[in-house]
Amino acid sequence: MKPIIALTSYGRYEKDLSNPWYKEHFSLPALYIDAVRRAGGIPLLIMPGEENLDAILEKVDGIIITGGADIHPSTYGGDPEHPRLTEMDTERDRLELALVHQLLGVENIPTLAICRGMQILNVALGGTLHEHVAESLDEDIHRGDDGVWRVHGVSITPKTRAASAMGVEQVSTYSGHHQAIKELASDLEITATAPDGVIEAVEHQSHPWMLGVQWHPEITAGEDLTQQRLFDALVQEAKK
């Protein structure tokens, strides 16, 4: 039987899909779903506000914590008045932070955390974030002038889960983030960096398979085998 891979969705107001009949929507870009299906998994969405995580984790074989809006600074002791903060969804924050803690108690569920998801992983374990990472950089290579995609190189540490999964140690990635890890949680290990030193991948030091990447592998997974392999590796671990 194909493994069931649960993915966290956007918050109810995170993407404006409002219409005269419905104001609130839970959604997720189809590229995530496509990548899971190519890998041989069955995708299932977990929406913010869900309180039955125990029951869900009993039924699923793998987890993807997806990208999305800024994480509220109150979760990591940051500045909630920072002028460069974008949309935030505290309901989603609560769900995903709780999900990470639940996953640490169920070590047989492999987890891939993408962009915001990697930041959630770090915050849940006690780390902090840059509210606006460009303030600490000479040049912002992590998102385009339009605030969305930009391609840059990433160096992956050999013999890590990311290197093993992707089969490479140098890769070009699609990024679109303005928050990033500042102080690394003690249970995480850095496994990839950007040319400017920004942390691009982490893995949990004791969990069997808990990997975070700061970029968006789903964007090019349909054409770039190195990116699709992250989803393939998650599904293969889930099959075990």
Catalytically active residues are: 115, 216, 218
| Residue recorded with tokens 């995609």 | 149
Q: Where are the alpha helices (DSSP H) in 11-151?
A: 30-38, 53-59, 90-104, 116-124
Q: Are 85 and 75 in contact (CB under 8 A)?
A: no
DSSP state letter for 88 = B
Phi, psi for 191 (deg, rounded to 5): -125, 0
Which of these, 219, 209, 211, 205, lies nearest to 177 by C-alpha position? 219
Largest CA distance in the chain: 53
Kindly give, in sequence order, each residue whose CB lies less than 8 Å from that of residue 46, ignoring residues fewer than 6 positions away. Answer: 6, 7, 8, 9, 53, 56, 95, 99
